[in-house]
Amino acid sequence: MVFQDFIEIDGKHGRSIMADIRYDSSNEAKPILIFAHGFKGFKDWGHFNLIADAFANEGFVIIKFNFSHNGGTIDQLIDFPDLDAFANNNFTIELDDLGSVIDWLYSSDTFSEEELDKENISLLGHSRGGAIAILKGNEDQRVKKVISWSAVSTMERWDNETLEKWKKEGILYVLNGRTKQNMPMFFQLYDNYMANINRLDVARACSSMNIPQLIIHGTEDESVKPSEANCLHQLNPKSVLRLIEGANHTLGGKHPYDGNELPEYTRTAIDETINVIK
């Protein structure tokens, strides 16, 4: 039977990190998988809970979490009621949030030591969360494997015209097509990126990766082109690349997601992930 609990983790940047943990209680140590959502995402998006259940049923401890500045709140984990937090988010905060989740695993006595194999921690990230997972996996020796689904190959995704406008106005708005919110990003995000460019260099992290790395991408990804997956793989020839024919950016998921069955593309991604990390 899958055990599930909800967790509030202290972040390093003045906001809590809301998470949930699932595993099949068996009194046997299980590999740990930490899942990081992407840009304009949240831990309960679409079919993410079904994905977590699938990994738990396959013998993993899986932790999903909301980045502290993703725009959600403690009381409203879905969607984006706190756009001020979203505007103040940056890549360093997200890396530190992921580090805080790992720290919590090592310091918490909430769960039985018999259930968690803390020497077998893998990171799984979707889209921008995939890049965050790559960066953290390269800098944190507690991480043993890194898996990315539909990941970006660089954090720098603005053309010169956008950058000039952003710098001049101090704020850039990104439309959320689903909620219809104009989501603000302060220019501090770019300043933070430039000030920490070595730490936030995805290409550099891939090139120096010395732990197993799996790269999964759909051939019909409309948001992040499959060429970015090929780029990541070329940067780390020891990595494993799996292209899923016909899959889009969310591997068949959507929000809200109806039904209790996973999309075929997502099931394939889960199976490929398990083959690498179990």
Residue 10 has pLDDT above 80, yes or no: yes
In a domain, 213, yes or no: yes
Q: Is residue 39 part of a domain?
A: yes
Indicate yes or no: pTM above 0.95.
Answer: yes
Q: For 222-273, what is each residue's pLDDT tens digit?
A: 999 999 999 999 999 999 999 999 999 999 999 999 999 999 999 999 999 9
Expressed as residue numbers, the domain containing 240 is 2-157+197-277
134-137: Cβ within 8 A, 24+ apart: 134/202, 134/205, 134/206, 134/209, 134/213, 134/232, 135/91, 135/95, 135/199, 135/200, 135/202, 135/205, 136/95, 136/98, 136/99, 136/102, 137/205, 137/209, 137/211, 137/213
Q: In total, how many domains does the chain have?
A: 1
Residue 17 resides in a domain: yes
Residue 190 lies in a domain: no
pLDDT at 111: 77
Look at residue 187 and tell me if it is in a domain: no
Read off the CATH number of the domain in which 63 is found.
3.40.50.1820
